[in-house]
Amino acid sequence: MSFEDLESGSSLYVQGGSGSWERLTKQAITNPSASDNRQSIVVGVFQINTALTNFQRLVNTLGTPKDTLQLRHKLHSTRQQIGELIKETSAKLKKAIVSTRHSQSSVTKKIADAKLAKDFQSVLKKFQKAQQLAAQREAAYTPFISQEIISSRSTEIQISSSISPESGSILVESKRQDMVQLEHEIVFNEAIIEEREQGMIEIQQQIGELNEMFKDLALLVHEQGIMLDDISSNIESSHDATAQAAKQLTKASKIQQCNSSMSCLLLVIFGVILLIIIVLVLA
C-alpha cells in the first residue's frame, strides 16, 4: 500500500500504534479543515510509516554486497525525509492538543488527542529503534566498492602493457597499475570517513529532536490529565543510544583514518619502487 493509494480516494485503513485501525477517506486527505485536523495527523503518521518501511529496508541492506556509497546517500536522504514528516506531524498534533485544552472540549476529545499522541509516539519509537540499528550497522560495515570502478583504470593499463614488447615496460606498467588501485582505495576510504561522520551527526541530531518531542508530548498530554506510557524510559534509552552510536561511529572513523594513512604510505613506497624500475629500464 503506497501513498498514491491515499490520493486516489479509495477507502483505506492505517494501523495505529496500539494496534487499532482508523479509516481514512479522500475528503479527510484532500480537504483537511480545522475540524478534521486529527485526520491529517493520522495521514501524517501513515506517511511516516511508509517512509520508515523504506528506511528499514535500506538499513537491512547495510553489510550486504548491495551496500554502496549510493545506498548510504539514499539512506541519509530518507532519514531526512522522515525527520521533516515527523516535524510537520508533531506541529499539527501540538496544535490539536492546545486547541482542545483552551476550548470547552469534552473528555472524549481529550482522550482522542491522547490516542493520537500515543500513535505518534509509537511511530517515533519505531524510528528511534531503526536509527539505533542504522548506527550500529554503519559503524560495523564498510560499503562495497564497485569492481568496475577499481578495474576500469587497471584494465586500460593492462591493455597498454600487453602491447609493449619490452618486459621492463610491462613491469613498470604493472607497478603503475598497483599505484592506481591504491589511489582508488585512498579516495574510497576518505569518502567512507566523510559518509560515516555525516551519518553520526544526523543520527545524534535526530535522536536529540526525538527526545524533545517525547518531552513535549508528555507535557501536553499530562496537562490534559492523561499520561502517555513509558515516556521517561524512552528518553533515557534515547540518550544511551546516542552515546553508544557516537562511540561506535567515532571508533570506526579512527580505524578508517588509520587504514587511509597506511594506504598513503604504501602508495609512496610503490612510487619509489616505480621510480627505481624506470631508472633501471632507461639505464
Query: What single string gives the DSSP state of each residue in 221-239?
Result: HHHTT-PPTTHHHHHHHHH
| 115 or 103: which leads in pLDDT | 115
% of residues, the chain, pLDDT over 70: 45
Average confidence score pLDDT of the chain: 69
Q: How far apart are CA 202 and CA 190, in angstroms?
A: 19
With 90 as the cut, is the pLDDT of residue 81 above it?
yes
Say if CB 66 and CB 79 are below 8 A apart.
Answer: no
Q: What is the pLDDT of residue 217?
A: 73
Domain boundaries, the chain: 3-282
Q: What is the pLDDT of residue 104?
A: 63
Q: What is the pLDDT of residue 256?
A: 58
Cα-based distances in Å from 6 to 21, 30, 40, 150: 15, 9, 12, 45
Range among 7-21, 26-40, 73-87, 265-279 rated most confident: 73-87
- State if pTM tops 0.75: no
Q: What is the pLDDT of residue 6?
A: 39
In this prediction, residue 27 has a pLDDT band, given cuts at 50, 70 and 90, of: very low
Q: What is the pLDDT of residue 32?
A: 45
Instruction: For residue 134, count CB atoms less than 10 angstroms from its CB and return exposed for 0-12, middle for 13-18, buried for 19 or more.
Output: buried
The 10s digit of each residue's pLDDT in 219-275 is: 766 665 555 554 445 545 555 555 666 666 666 656 556 655 666 666 666 666 666
With 80 as the cut, is the pLDDT of residue 41 above it?
yes
Range among 82-91, 97-106, 260-269 rated most confident: 82-91
In this prediction, residue 28 has a pLDDT band, given cuts at 50, 70 and 90, of: very low
Q: How far apart are CA 257 and CA 137, in angstroms?
A: 18
The 10s digit of each residue's pLDDT in 169-212 is: 666 666 677 677 777 667 766 776 776 677 777 777 777 777 77
> Mean pLDDT, to the nearest integer, of 13-37?
44
> Between 69-102 and 167-223, two packed helices, what is the crossing angle to 10 degrees?
10
> Mean pLDDT, to the nearest integer, of 49-58?
95
DSSP code of 185?
A: H
